[in-house]
Amino acid sequence: MNRALRVLAALWRLNIAEELQYRANFVASVFGTVFWIGTALLTLALFFRHTTLLGGWTYWEVVVLLGVFNALTGVIEAVLRPGIGQLASEVRSGRLDLVLSRPVDAQAFVSFRQLDVWRLTDVVLGLGLAGYALVRLGHVPSPLQVIAFAAALASAVVMVYAIWVALMSLAFWFVAVENLSVLFDAMYEGARYPVSAYPGALRFIFVYLLPIAWTTTIPASALTGRLGPEIGLAAVGVAVVAFALARMLWRQALKRYTGVSG
């Protein structure tokens, strides 16, 4: 474990050193994030011109959720997305051998080897937005609510990662698919709004099949006090299960890879 962390730290140090050469990207990244938060808020304002509640949520409650959504997007864009294109091409060309023969866990290595450090600003901006919305709500979360939120948010990160690993594993079956992350984007698009806003069938899918609801709706609910603090524990449980399933799928996928190359 300790060694894995040292490897990770070394990889990220290299990445950061490389990215620091392109400081204009930082400005572009912040500008892009602010622009997309702006369009999301405008979309929301448009909905709320014609209603006072969305799935039972007020405007500022949904903005809290949007802040969580944006913070998670930052994690995805900074840590997960940079590596996936590389994995697909490695599976296709057989260069994955070079990764598998390293004395580190292949799943961890493949998932975290690249870091787009500028996109971490999304995390800061997203949490800032959630904080601002809490002020507008006039809601001061109790310490217990903050703890539940932290647990739910950490679980959300794990859950997003689990979904992502499941997708990466698909690269072993559908090698020709370069745009696997599009599948994730399409799915994750649903996390922009509270699940209660969707018609019943869609809600069922988002809670139980593609656990998108757990990534934004649940942390936001924990923070605003819409759900009791014990939801934090439930979130941790779901995250552990999701992670274990994803890990199993990844193992299956790897077996398939070795099967192919002999």
Partner 1 sequence: MIRTYAALIRNAWLVDLQYRAAIGLWLLWGITEPAIALGIWWAIAASGPIDGYARPDFARYFFALMLVNQLTIAWDSWYLDRWIREGDLNFRLARPLNPVHESIADNIAYKARSGGVILGLWLLVAAIWPAVRLPLDPTRWALTALAVLLSAAMRFFISFTTGLLAFWTTRASAIMELHAGVGLFLAGRVAPLALLPPALASVAGVLWFRGMISFPVEVLTGGVQGAAALQRGFTEQIVWLVLWFGAYRLAWNRGIRRYGAVGG
Rule CB under 8 A: is residue 177 a binding residue for partner 1?
A: yes
Residue 93 contacts partner 1 per CB under 8 A = no
Q: Is residue 202 close enough to count as binding partner 1 by CB under 8 A?
A: yes
Based on the shown chain and the rule CB under 8 A, indicate whether residue 209 belongs to the binding site for partner 1: no
Among 187, 205, 210, 236, binds partner 1 (CB under 8 A): 187
Query: Would you count residue 198 as binding partner 1 (CB under 8 A)?
Result: yes
221: Cβ contacts below 8 Å, ≥ 6 apart: 194, 227, 231
Residues between 53 and 92 with contacts to partner 1, criterion CB under 8 A: 54-55
Among 12, 26, 36, 109, binds partner 1 (CB under 8 A): 36
Q: Cα separation of 25 and 22, whole Å? A: 6
Please list, in sequence order, all residues whose beta carbon lies within 8 angstroms of the beta carbon of residue 100, skipping any fewer than 6 positions away: 106, 254, 257, 258
Q: How far is the CB of 208 from partner 1 (least distance, A)?
A: 17
Q: Which of 174/252 has CB closer to partner 1? A: 174
* Separation between Cα atoms, residue 164 and residue 238, nearest integer Å: 16
Interaction between residue 179 and partner 1 (CB under 8 A): yes
Would you say 115 and 197 are in contact if contact means Cβ atoms under 8 Å apart? no
Q: Cβ 11 to partner 1, closest distance in Å?
A: 26
Decide: is 50 part of the binding site for partner 1 (CB under 8 A).
yes
Nearest to 182 by CA among 84, 51, 48: 84
C-alpha angle 95/73/175, rounded to 5°?
Answer: 25
Whole-angstrom CA distances from 72 to 68, 158, 182, 200 are 6, 10, 16, 25
According to CB under 8 A, which one of 182, 241, 244, 245 is a site residue for partner 1? Answer: 182
Q: Are 151 and 236 in contact (CB under 8 A)?
A: yes
Smallest gap from Cβ 215 to partner 1, in A, equals: 15
98 forms part of the interface with partner 1 (CB under 8 A): no
**Cα(231)–Cα(144) distance, integer angstroms:** 11
Q: Contact positions toward partner 1, by CB under 8 A?
A: 28, 32, 35-36, 39, 42-43, 46-47, 49-51, 54-55, 174, 176-180, 182-183, 185-187, 189-190, 192-193, 197-199, 202
